[in-house]
């Protein structure tokens, strides 16, 4: 078996003295969707930050496309093809939608108008508001801007931390559809989701994280079918 595209193995670390992550392992294959679910405070966001290099890992290793990136800064990881949409504060509120996308492409030296057009194509709702300040948009549209911003570097791995937080069910379905669409273009996706059921539906691989460690790891369908997982994490 070939090595997965992203592989973060046995991560230990936290913000201060106490570890939040206690041996968490996440992998995503090329073009696949990996979903992390788990109770509040389990360390899902922390795991995402660790994968993205925003946290000093005490132990563990992160590789991307076979290359060890454990020591790289977040900015360097962006250049290696990672895109990250944080859970909160993921847009520039007093800048227009278009400027948000431009900032997403800040490190690109080449012409990024094509990418921008693709993002607008993917999210037609925000395309209409490109001259409007991102902070004035609805919750769902803001999330679209946030995802669009991360796509501007043409990442090969897109990391989303609760992209559907605080949006209506209709918008949520719409967002999931878009995410699947993104994955179809060959981009690997690692995402954290509160709406575990729907997320696992579309997941190629799912992780149930509890207290900073993997409790269950399996394909999305298998997790959905597991009575134990259903009872404890999916509410029956």
Q: Return the one option of Mg ion, ligand ADP, another protein, none that residue 56 interacts with (CB less than 5 to 8 A, by type).
A: none
Sequence-ordered strand ranges (E) for 14-53: 21-28, 33-37
44 belongs to the binding site for ligand ADP (CB under 6 A): yes
x/- track of binding to another protein for residues 37-56 (CB under 8 A): ---------------x----
Bridge partner list, 218:
206
Residue 93 makes contact with another protein by CB under 8 A:
yes
Q: How many residues does the chain have?
A: 236
Minimum distance of Mg ion from residue 76's CB (angstroms): 24
CB closer to ligand ADP, 172 vs 209? 209
CB 225 within 8 A of CB 67: no
What's the token pair of residue 150?
Answer: 């991360």
Q: What is the spatial distance between Cα 191 and Cα 183, in angstroms, rounded to a whole number?
A: 12
Task: Please tell me whether residue 164 binds ligand ADP under the rule CB under 6 A.
Answer: no
The interface region with another protein, picked from 29-37, 70-78, 176-184, 202-210 by CB under 8 A, is 70-78
Q: Phi and psi dihedrals of 194, rounded to 5?
A: -80, -40
Residue 171 DSSP SS3: helix
Q: Which of 1, 18 has the CB closer to Mg ion?
A: 18
Catalog residues that contact ligand ADP under the rule CB under 6 A.
15, 20, 38, 40-46
């Amino acid at each position: 078996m070939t090595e997965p595209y992203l592989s973060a193995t046995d991560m230990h670390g936290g913000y201060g003295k106490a570890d939040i992550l206690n041996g968490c392992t996440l992998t995503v294959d090329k073009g696949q969707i990996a979903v992390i679910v788990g109770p509040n405070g389990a360390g899902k966001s922390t795991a995402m930050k660790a994968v993205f290099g925003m946290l000093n890992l005490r132990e563990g290793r992160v590789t991307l496309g076979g290359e060890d990136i454990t020591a790289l800064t977040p900015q360097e990881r962006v250049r290696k093809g990672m895109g990250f949409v944080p859970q909160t504060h993921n847009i520039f509120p007093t800048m227009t939608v278009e400027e948000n996308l431009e900032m997403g492409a800040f490190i690109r030296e080449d012409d990024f108008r094509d990418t921008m057009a693709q993002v607008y194509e993917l999210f037609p709702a925000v395309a209409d508001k490109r001259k409007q300040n991102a902070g004035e948009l609805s919750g769902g549209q803001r999330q679209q801007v946030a995802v669009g911003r991360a796509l501007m570097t043409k990442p090969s791995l897109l990391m989303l931390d609760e992209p559907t937080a605080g949006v209506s069910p209709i918008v949520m379905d719409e967002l999931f559809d878009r995410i699947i669409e993104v994955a179809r273009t060959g981009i690997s996706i690692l995402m954290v989701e509160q709406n575990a059921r729907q997320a696992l539906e579309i997941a190629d691989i799912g992780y149930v994280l509890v207290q900073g460690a993997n409790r269950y790891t399996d394909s999305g369908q298998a997790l959905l079918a597991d009575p134990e997982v259903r009872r404890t994490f999916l509410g029956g």
